[in-house]
Amino acid sequence: MSTERAGRYRRSAPAGHSGAVPVKEALRRLTGSLGITRKLGEYEVITSWEELVGEQIARVTKPERIERGILVVSVSSAPWRTELSMRRLEIIDHINNAVGRKVIKEIRFR
């Protein structure tokens, strides 16, 4: 295909605009249109667990699953389960802020 012919199929951007969209915004739009924004946020929480809660908590916990905004986390001991239960709201806020949206509504430590 010649350069001249290829040019006929390009959409032109409005005057003064390159038509470029930041990658983050393009991905946000794409995931929204596909209806997978929530699932991607949940996946990010599970796969980034250590970065989200820190090494010390990650050593004694394991995120199991997220169902309808409820994160289920197994904990290695009763004292840690008690400690984390008391810090539950702080942990939820930290996770949601780090992910950039409200992914977690509740945490259940088991």
Above pLDDT 70, what percent of the chain?
Answer: 84
Confidence of residue 28 (pLDDT cuts 50, 70, 90): confident
Q: Which of 30-34, 71-75, 77-81, 106-110 is predicted least confidently?
A: 30-34
Amino acid at residue number 70? I
Q: Which fold has domain 22-109?
A: GMP Synthetase; Chain A, domain 3 (3.30.300)
Q: Residue 107: how many CA atoms within 13 Å on its side-chain side?
A: 27
pLDDT in tens, 62-75: 999 999 999 999 99
54: left (phi over 0), alpha (psi -120 to 50) or beta: left
pLDDT in tens, 11-22: 555 555 567 889
Token look-up 């197994």 returns: 74
Domain locations in the chain as residue ranges: 22-109
